[in-house]
Chain A
Amino acid sequence: MAASLHIAGIRKIYGKDAHAVEVLKRIDIEVAPGEFLILVGPSGCGKSTLLNIIAGLEQPSEGELRIAGKNVVGVAPAQRDIAMVFQSYALYPTMSVADNIGFALEMRKVPKAARIQRIAEVAAMLQIEHLLERRPAQLSGGQRQRVAMGRALARDPQLFLFDEPLSNLDAKLRVEMRAEIKRLHQVSGITSVYVTHDQIEAMTLGSRIAVMKDGVLQQIGTPDAIYNRPANTYVAGFIGSPTMNFIAGNAMNTGAIRQFSFKEGGAPVVCPLTREGQLGLRPEHIYFNADAPWRGEVQLVEPTGADTFVVVKTAAGAITTRVAPNMAVKVGEMVGLQFAPEHAHWFDGQSGMRVATENHS
């Protein structure tokens, strides 16, 4: 049973008067039934506070919160029909895995037979049938993670909340569990809100991503929109690895068109800016071209297997490019750089906001 989630004008202020700290500044988010929403941002951006407010573990200072259309401000966590997976898993250490999974059902007075059946179903779904009698202390990190998922799945909630659930796992397990979470969401179809600071998790899991910084929602959109049409320089720099290159420059009127010129950038490009601003270029949109007037010296070559990242020191700053792994580049070599103007991102110099081109919104 998938539910919608409506977050409107949510504020959270800690302390009062001179010591007041506003950690959430009027957050508005609509989550459609069955959606998988990612809250992403650096630590301290307020994403976990927002999750706790949705869960009912903290109260908003102001604002409206509806689950499936029902106002839940002031409603106890247990009455919200939400399940949450915690970063530390928070498994009950003195109970067996089966009791951990069945605890919420027991609290809801589900008869024992039905409870046992549901525990078995969930255990089968997560492939942890053989662990049911164990205590959490006897499990590995990945197994604990599965049990924590099982505990959340057991009672088929309206809403799933995840608080950085994969951050305690090693790299390989993280990839595995990420796929597992995605699969479980596709099977269950339960509306989910997932907090992370990992942009790969955000891009791979989310049907939509909400990027937050300093308690302000920077942008909310599909992974494609966030990646290809970042709303401001912060989002552009936060999502994508290696990070986007930013080049400061000036827009100048040349006849009927405006052109962007930057230090030793060679031929100016048509731009939608009206004043000074920044040109944003993702590493995969910059190519080597021996004849290009934009030149620089190779500073660093980072092969990652599938791709090689090359950092080139130019007059406009250090530029990271992505090149084919078989390309022979040596540190110290002089190269020419070229980019595809249709993949250029333009940001206003003062507000940092995206400035759309006519044919590319």
Chain B
Amino acid sequence: MIARHVLRALLYAVLLLAALFFLAPLYVMLSTSLKDAEQIRSGNLLSLPGLVNLDAWRLAWSAACTGVDCRGLSPYFWNSVSMTVPAVLISTTWGALNGYVLSMWRFRGSELLFGLLLFGVFMPFQVVLLPMSQVLGYLGLSSSVSGLVLVHCLAGMAGTTLFFRNYYAAIPKELVNAARMDGAGFWRIFWRIVLPMSTPILMVTLIWQFTNIWNDFLFGVAFSGADTKPITVGLNNMANTSSSVKSYNVDMAAAMIAGLPTMLVYVLAGQYFVKGLTAGAVKG
């Protein structure tokens, strides 16, 4: 009895330590972003901010300098939004349709096609940087937000297809057959029967794609132009802009701003994420 309590206490202690360990950087970021330069210079990284001071957030958002451009992160933020939202929606829709076809409307060679698509999931993206920039050039999309959207759709499609295909593979084929006999066609079956059953995997894919695309640095740095840089690149450039005094509080606030949307999406849709990851693992 006592041994069990001790074990339990030990378990919680370990979990608590692990949580503290992983939360510590977040705490430091948050508290530093709320301090003024004076407090930061006093040297205690872990101390609480004396007075909550939102100046650093305001600076990071709209006045911090990257080189000679002193508009803060906001232009990059909106670049990221206008890149991420369409890219997430398009790549998710694309994956859902691919998965629907590959699991329920199999054709000669569809399994082979799926096998080849899997390569796309494991392929390091550095491999396609040069050919991709060529293609963007041919299409006249170099350095544009549309170009980045295209790149992210292509890069994400293999993964989203995999998600949906495996989820749909667990849906009984008889459902599709029943709908066919009832007179529904390819699109009707998708809209009325299959898509309404897809909420968990839809959430998983949306979160997954949003996180990947919002946090992407490689494509952002390689394919964006001066006015189309996403927030990850903007943050990097801002933090690397040399000035006489390093404004840690502004850098931290900027990093928080860059990270908030993905956290928000996870908090809003996270319950579905866990459900979706385990869906299909257990029948019923």
Contact = CB atoms under 8 A, between A and B. Distances in A.
Interface of A: 55-57, 76-78, 82-84, 86-88, 90, 92-95, 103-104, 107-108, 151
Given A87-B174, A90-B172, A90-B177, A104 B182 contact: yes
A95 B181 CA distance: 17
19 contacts: A55-B177, A55-B181, A57-B177, A57-B181, A76-B180, A77-B177, A77-B180, A77-B181, A78-B180, A78-B181, A78-B182, A84-B178, A84-B181, A86-B177, A87-B174, A94-B196, A103-B184, A104-B182, A107-B183
B97 interface: no
5 closest residue pairs by CB, A with B: A107-B183, A104-B182, A94-B196, A90-B178, A90-B174
B100 to A, nearest CB: 15
Interface residues of B, number: 17
A80 to B, nearest CB: 8
Contacts, number: 57
B interface majority secondary structure = helix
From B179, B181, B184, residue with most partner A Cβ within 10 Å = B181
A88 B174 contact: yes
A94 B202 CA distance: 15
Interface string B189-220: 00011001100000000000000000000000
Interface in B21-53: none
Contacts of A78: 180-185
Given A92-B193, A94-B197, A86 B180 contact: no
A56 B183 CA distance: 12
Contacts of A95: 192, 196
Contact of B175 (A82, A92, A107): A92
Contacts of B178: 84, 86, 90, 92, 151
Interface string B54-68: 000000000000000
Given A88-B172, A90-B172, A90-B174, A83 B193 contact: no
B188 interface: yes
Given A77-B177, A83-B181, A151-B182, 18 more contacts: A57-B177, A78-B182, A84-B177, A84-B178, A87-B174, A88-B172, A88-B174, A90-B174, A90-B175, A90-B177, A92-B175, A94-B193, A94-B196, A95-B192, A95-B196, A104-B182, A104-B183, A107-B188
A234 to B, nearest CB: 30
Nearest to A163: B174
Contacts of B192: 92, 95, 103
Given A93-B197, A94-B196, A94-B197, A86 B182 contact: no
Contact of A92 (B177, B179, B180, B185): B179
B192 to A, nearest CB: 8
A78 B179 CA distance: 9
Nearest to B188: A107
A42 to B, nearest CB: 21
A84 B197 CA distance: 22
Nearest to B185: A78
A55 B181 CA distance: 8
A84 B196 CA distance: 23
Interface string B143-184: 000000000000000000000000000001011011111111
A82 B180 CA distance: 11
A55 B178 CA distance: 10
B172 to A, nearest CB: 6
B18 to A, nearest CB: 39
B184 A107 contact: yes
Contacts of A88: 172, 174
Given A86-B177, A94-B196, A94-B197, A103 B182 contact: yes
A76 B179 CA distance: 12
A151 B175 CA distance: 13
A108 to B, nearest CB: 6
Nearest to A79: B183
B174 A86 contact: yes
Contacts of B180: 57, 76-78
A93 to B, nearest CB: 6
A266 B181 CA distance: 60
Nearest to A87: B174
Nearest to A86: B174
Contacts of B185: 78
Nearest to B182: A104
From B182, B183, B192, B193, residue with most partner A Cβ within 10 Å = B182
A55 B180 CA distance: 10
A280 B237 CA distance: 93
Contacts of B197: 93-94
B169 to A, nearest CB: 16
Nearest to B196: A94
